[in-house]
Amino acid sequence: MDAIRLTIDGQEVGARQGMTVLEAAQSAGIYIPTLCADPDLEPYGACRLCVVEIEKMRGLPTSCTTPATDGMVVYTNTPAVNEVRRTTIGLLLSDHPSECLICDRKERCQPFDICLRNVVVTERCVTCPKNGHCELQEVVDYLGITEIPFRRTTKSLPVDDSNPFFYRDLNKCILCGKCVRVCDEVLGVGAVALTYRGYASLVATFGDKPILDSNCVSCGECVAHCPVAALMPKKAELPTEEVATTCVYCGVGCGIYLGTRDGQIVSVRGRRDGTVNNGLLCVKGRYGFDFVHHRDRLKTPLIKKKGKFVKASWGEALDFVASKLKGYKSDEVAVISSAKCTNEDNYIAQKFARAVLGTNNVDHCARLCHASTVAGLGATFGAGAMTNSINELRDAGCILAIGTNTTEAHPIIALEMKRAVDKGAKLIVANPREIDLVRWSYLWLRHQPGSDVALLMGMMKVIVDEGLIDQAFIDERCENFDAFKKSLKGFDLDFVERTTGVPKDKIAEAARIYATEKPSALLYAMGITQHSHGTDNVIATANLAMLTGNIGKPATGVNPLRGQNNVQGACDLGALPNVYPGYQAVADANIRKKFEAAWGCSLPSSSGLTITEMIDAAGNKKIKAIYLIGENPLLSEPDITHAREALEKLEFLVVQDIFLSETAKLADVVLPGASFAEKDGTYTNTERRVQRVRKAIEPIGDCRPDWWITCEIGKGMGGKGFDFDRPSKIMDEIASLTPSYGGISYRRLEGSGLQWPCPTKDHPGTPILHTQQFTRGKGRFIPLEYKPPMELPDKQYPLVLTTGRSLYHFHTGTLTRRVEGLNVLKGEGTVEIDPEDASSLGIADGEKVKVISRRGEVVARAKVTEVSPPGVVFMTFHFAESPANMLTNPALDPVAKIPEYKVCAVRIERV
Amino acid sequence: MKGRTKSQKPDLTKVDKIVSKYKGEEGVLISVLQEVQAEVGWIPLQAIQRIADALEVSLGQVYGVLTFYAQFYLTPRGRNTIRVCRGTACYVRGTKANLRAVERILGIKEGETTSDFKFSLETVACLGTCFLAPVMMINRNYYGKLTPGKVGTILKQYS
């Protein structure tokens, strides 16, 4: 960071090496008019408004493309410069509505209905939604323009209102190209381009189609960057207040501002400083918050009487729950907590289970997504979490993305990967499906679903055979290498090629790139974890990273991308049957004593049941009552029919949710929780960053924060230590008992949050794990063998079904199915099927088909696409109308107890 | 993209052939488009998808280039291209009447193609042969000192 000093308008200004003159001026608070420059985009130099005079330079250079140099003398506001600017802006205004823009009465403007000038409405600023925060207005005011010296034309193009979230009104477009550039440079989508020439120039989609019919992903970045009103959100109400908080959808944990007006959420925008997203958002994060005010929100507690829900008061409902739960023995009850809820909610839920109900039967949906990560990375490294940070990815030399459809499930991380590729990183995508990431990839390994261990072991064999291992790292930092090396013998490349379906030279090339183009980062998600050998898959990724020394250093590591906004936190805070907060084992007598002393009660010593075991135990009546917070197992469990039968056998089911979910309909008591916008707390994102969630509006109806509800039930049952009046105090208790959260307090979380481990009050947090030594001491290599999926296609069920996610929906759709616009973009579940399979079955694109497995059948629309390879069909699990989990196989990983969502055998029939 | 008639299917194999030569290269978009147009006669929308995929650029970018240059056609072209000059010299010597004659005989307007794909009709600013004004060009042949009466006979030669 070399300091440069330059003089702008007589003022001495400091700048960093690499800054442009425009950036230097802006950082010093000097205004230079511009319409096309943007901090997120490469300098473009199109609008010609930022021209300046620079001593010893010819002509009028554009300040946005001129690098600042030491000793430069710049004038931004001279007659020559402004003359050019006036001409430019005059040309620009000649086909832009401008009556108000250049009105000489605008200082004294009256309400527009009594405007003295006889001007049509479309030519006025005062009827424009951008009035008052339009960049064009700002420039015109700066230049003091009162007349346009050119012939005026009007475009009168139809407004494109096809997208559910924004309008495209090209009559107001000034052709700055920001939307085109952000879509291409930042998103890599390229939905729009500058087309035609001269006066006919237009920002258009391919074939001039409505934006909805293009490959637009509706992220709204173009809308956020548009300087005028050409791109406007359909909900354009201005907020009176903005609250900095964290997005509620995926595990990326983007920072957002929730804008409110009259107690309603009216706007969302990305937070730029100190956040993982640098201001960028995906379609859900920007437009997906209508659910908060949805008419379906639960507003009062409900108690089921004679098969019907009856409204109840909090006192009545809480007393009823407490008295009923008191009647069960501790091994007859279970608590299912929620990865959607805050850390504080989860801490209280597990404390309630352990201290009040006296059981370790507490679990949450991490069981269904990343239990194998916790088990596999725990065994190899000692900590089951993302080892590195999201913003390091851009510096990687190689990124291996296996079993992650990042653009759909973690869109903002995908942008980081794209940035890395732009900077020269080689992206290797290992995925059976031709996902969007394949476009950016250097190499695509299309392996068979469930053959990940074979693929990764094959790569490791190449690395060992060709001497590409990091011997020093292995000797110093790891153990058990020889035993592991022996297990590689079983993976000669012919076997690997047969098993995975990937040509062996491709496997070898991938291995060489990963081992040599350091630093190499490995990313994975549920394509790795959701298998009956998910733990083995995870161990394989860990082995690969250790083998090449790609761990404990910047831009390397093994990076599981967590699904839910707070699934990391729910695990960290002990909503798991075998550990207390901070992964402290319940079996360890010393740890148990610590918690007994802190909570003032005796605690059970044996591990509890996992979520899948709880469902089974409910089915054979060993578990009689369940207190379930914010989960929807009737869509998320594998083999839903079985799950429904089991839950129906419960004597007492309490469901705490913000909507009457499929599961809540079965409940005896429903308690209305507050949504993320209505409470304070913290989430821990996938890179272990603990971030604040802040209350933006008052709870809807009679909703209450989840921690409050659980505390009240706890107190009602005579529990001690539930007298919290605000969540910051819960965090203080967490910090006192959880070493990795030891230094965390709300005061320290202001700003960008903290990455655990953060053991002490002055610890800055840990962006990279295992830098000096592994959490468990030495990194442990674990020998592996290939195990096929539990259910393989046969004559009766000849196709493999694999499940996944869509960008436009989240999890079981409880939230996103209630956002109207998202359902316009994707309103129903589809079965993706390869054209070959489709034609042999006689299925046409868009036709309704029946998908049948050994466990059930669903009807969905066929989408004939080459994205799925022959023999493999794909469904998302968001849609209650076509619930993919009616079909999935509940076969469990023996260690992590995670079900095999990613592979089961099905057949498809025409309806 | 809607499927077009069967007769256009072989075009795409030609497109694939051209595109495969340039796969993954940078800065070749215009050359590829020119080659495709020379081979196919126009640029079908399906071809654009293949070109975009092979050159790793977005559909929008290709579309931007295609619409910027007048030389690229997004609709099928006739086998013969008629260019009627509208330059100053031709204009004063009555090219308008010639253009109307062509339009009347072929039943199409400027910028259109006959339904049998025999002719496409365009106007151009100058053909550089003002001494022959008014001029019309069909494919690579010039027809100077043109009168509406001659138009019919000339067009017949191309039938």
Contacts of B57 in chain A (CB under 8 A): 190
Contacts of A183 in chain B (CB under 8 A): 60
Measured between its terminal Cα atoms, the distance across chain B in Å is: 33
Domain membership of residue A311 (yes or no) is: yes
The beta-carbon neighbor of A205 closest among B56, B60, B62 is: B60
- Whether B59 sits inside 8 A of A190 (CB atoms) is yes
- Whether B61 sits inside 8 A of A197 (CB atoms) is no
- Measured between CA atoms, the residue of chain B closest to residue A204 is B60
Q: How far is A118 from chain B (nearest CA, A)?
A: 38
Last residue of a domain, one of A528, A560, A592: A560
- Measured between CA atoms, the residue of chain A closest to residue B57 is A190
Q: What is the pTM of this model?
A: 0.89
Question: Is the CB of A222 inside 8 Å of chain B's CB atoms?
Answer: no
The verdict on A420 and A509 lying in the same domain is: yes
Query: How many beta-carbon contacts under 8 Å exist across A and B?
Result: 46
Residue A467, sorted as left (phi over 0), alpha (psi -120 to 50) or beta, turns out to be: left
Given a cut of 90, whether residue A468 has pLDDT beyond it is yes
CB A619 within 8 A of CB A649: yes
Last residue of a domain, one of A187, A212, A233: A233
Task: Say if residue A865 is exposed, middle or buried (CB neighbours under 10 Å; 0-12, 13-18, 19+).
Answer: middle
Question: Is the CB of B130 inside 8 Å of chain A's CB atoms?
Answer: no
Spell out the residues 6+ positions from residue A79 whose beta carbon is closer than 8 angstroms to its own.
Answer: none
The structure tokens listed for A321 are 């729950």
Domain membership of residue A99 (yes or no) is: yes
The verdict on A487 and A588 lying in the same domain is: no
- Measured between CA atoms, the residue of chain A closest to residue B24 is A442
Residue A907, sorted as left (phi over 0), alpha (psi -120 to 50) or beta, turns out to be: beta
Question: Is the CB of B24 inside 8 Å of chain A's CB atoms?
Answer: no
CB A257 within 8 A of CB A276: no
The verdict on A717 and A605 lying in the same domain is: yes
Residue A463's nearest CA partner among A546, A568, A552, A565 is A546
Given a cut of 70, whether residue A117 has pLDDT beyond it is no
Predicted pLDDT at B4: 36
Q: What is the mean pLDDT of residues A112-134?
A: 78
- Measured between CA atoms, the residue of chain A closest to residue B59 is A206
Domain count, chain A: 5
Instruction: Give dist(CA A167, CA A177) in Å, integer.
Output: 17
Instruction: Give dist(CA A630, CA A673) in Å, integer.
Output: 8
- Whether B62 sits inside 8 A of A206 (CB atoms) is yes
Q: What is the mean pLDDT of residues A364-385?
A: 90
Query: Helix (H, G, I), strand (E, B), or coil: what is residue B83?
Result: strand
- Measured between CA atoms, the residue of chain A closest to residue B1 is A207
- Measured between CA atoms, the residue of chain A closest to residue B54 is A439
Domain membership of residue A255 (yes or no) is: no
The beta-carbon neighbor of A196 closest among B48, B58, B68 is: B68
| Residue of B4, B49, B63 to mutate when probing chain A, most A C-beta within 10 A | B63
Question: Is the CB of B71 inside 8 Å of chain A's CB atoms?
Answer: no
Give the pLDDT band of residue A119 (cuts 50, 70, 90): confident
The verdict on A105 and A61 lying in the same domain is: yes
Given a cut of 60, whether residue A2 has pLDDT beyond it is no
Interface of A with B in 78-97 (CB under 8 A): none
Length of chain B: 159
Place of tokens 């000097």: A30
Q: What is the mean pLDDT of residues A669-679?
A: 95
Given a cut of 60, whether residue A203 has pLDDT beyond it is yes
- Whether B63 sits inside 8 A of A195 (CB atoms) is yes
The tens digit of pLDDT for each residue in A529-547 reads 999 999 999 999 999 999 9
The beta-carbon neighbor of A194 closest among B58, B62, B64 is: B64
The verdict on A317 and A175 lying in the same domain is: no
Place of tokens 């700048």: A15
CATH number 3.40.30.10 given to B80-156: yes
> With the C-alpha atoms ordered A567, A570, A576, A579, is the resulting torsion angle positive or negative?
positive
Question: Is the CB of B2 inside 8 Å of chain A's CB atoms?
Answer: no
Domain membership of residue A242 (yes or no) is: no
Give the pLDDT band of residue A124 (cuts 50, 70, 90): confident
- Phi then psi dihedrals of residue A419, to 5 deg: -60, -40
| Residue of B2, B23, B56, B59 to mutate when probing chain A, most A C-beta within 10 A | B59
Domain residues for the domain of A730 are 302-368+580-674+692-739
Q: How far is A636 from chain B (nearest CA, A)?
A: 36
- Whether A190 sits inside 8 A of B57 (CB atoms) is yes
- Measured between CA atoms, the residue of chain A closest to residue B68 is A196
The angle, 0 to 180 degrees and rounded to 10, between the axes of the packed helices B29-40 and B59-68 is 70
The structure tokens listed for A145 are 């323009």
Place of tokens 């100077």: B144
Question: Is the CB of B57 inside 8 Å of chain A's CB atoms?
Answer: yes
The structure tokens listed for A420 are 């890395």
- Whether B58 sits inside 8 A of A207 (CB atoms) is no
CB A592 within 8 A of CB A368: no
- Measured between CA atoms, the residue of chain A closest to residue B2 is A207
Predicted pLDDT at B9: 46
- Whether B67 sits inside 8 A of A195 (CB atoms) is yes
Instruction: Give dist(CA A826, CA A808) in Å, integer.
Output: 6
Give every residue of chain B whose pLDDT is below 70, as ranges: 1-11
- Whether B60 sits inside 8 A of A206 (CB atoms) is yes
- Whether A196 sits inside 8 A of B61 (CB atoms) is no
- Whether B60 sits inside 8 A of A196 (CB atoms) is no
Instruction: Give dist(CA A887, CA A905) in Å, integer.
Output: 9
What stretch of H or E contains B103?
Answer: helix B95-106
Contacts of A190 in chain B (CB under 8 A): 57-61
Last residue of a domain, one of A233, A254, A283: A233
pLDDT above 90 coverage of chain B, percent: 50
Q: How far is A185 from chain B (nearest CA, A)?
A: 11
Predicted pLDDT at B11: 65
Residue A552, sorted as left (phi over 0), alpha (psi -120 to 50) or beta, turns out to be: left
The verdict on A533 and A599 lying in the same domain is: no
The verdict on A333 and A226 lying in the same domain is: no
The verdict on A181 and A310 lying in the same domain is: no
The verdict on A409 and A494 lying in the same domain is: yes
Contacts of B54 in chain A (CB under 8 A): none
Task: Say if residue A187 is exposed, middle or buried (CB neighbours under 10 Å; 0-12, 13-18, 19+).
Answer: buried
Q: How far is A60 from chain B (nearest CA, A)?
A: 28
Residue A434's domain is classified under what CATH number?
Answer: 3.40.228.10
The tens digit of pLDDT for each residue in A35-64 reads 999 999 999 998 999 999 999 999 999 999
The structure tokens listed for A109 are 């403007």
The verdict on A634 and A712 lying in the same domain is: yes
Interface of A with B in 177-206 (CB under 8 A): 180, 183-184, 189-197, 204-206
Q: Which amino acid is at A184?
A: D
- Whether A190 sits inside 8 A of B58 (CB atoms) is yes
The verdict on A449 and A504 lying in the same domain is: yes
Given a cut of 70, whether residue A1 has pLDDT beyond it is no
Average pLDDT, chain A: 92
Q: What is the mean pLDDT of residues A237-248?
A: 93
Task: Say if residue A709 is exposed, middle or buried (CB neighbours under 10 Å; 0-12, 13-18, 19+).
Answer: buried
- Measured between CA atoms, the residue of chain B closest to residue A198 is B68
Contacts of B48 in chain A (CB under 8 A): 206
Predicted pLDDT at A165: 95
Domains of chain B, residue spans: 12-68, 80-156
Q: How far is A452 from chain B (nearest CA, A)?
A: 28
Instruction: Give dist(CA A412, CA A416) in Å, integer.
Output: 7
Give the pLDDT band of residue A399 (cuts 50, 70, 90): very high
The tens digit of pLDDT for each residue in A860-878 reads 999 999 998 999 999 998 9
Q: Which amino acid is at B20?
A: S
The tens digit of pLDDT for each residue in A711-736 reads 999 999 999 899 999 999 999 999 99
The verdict on A400 and A539 lying in the same domain is: yes
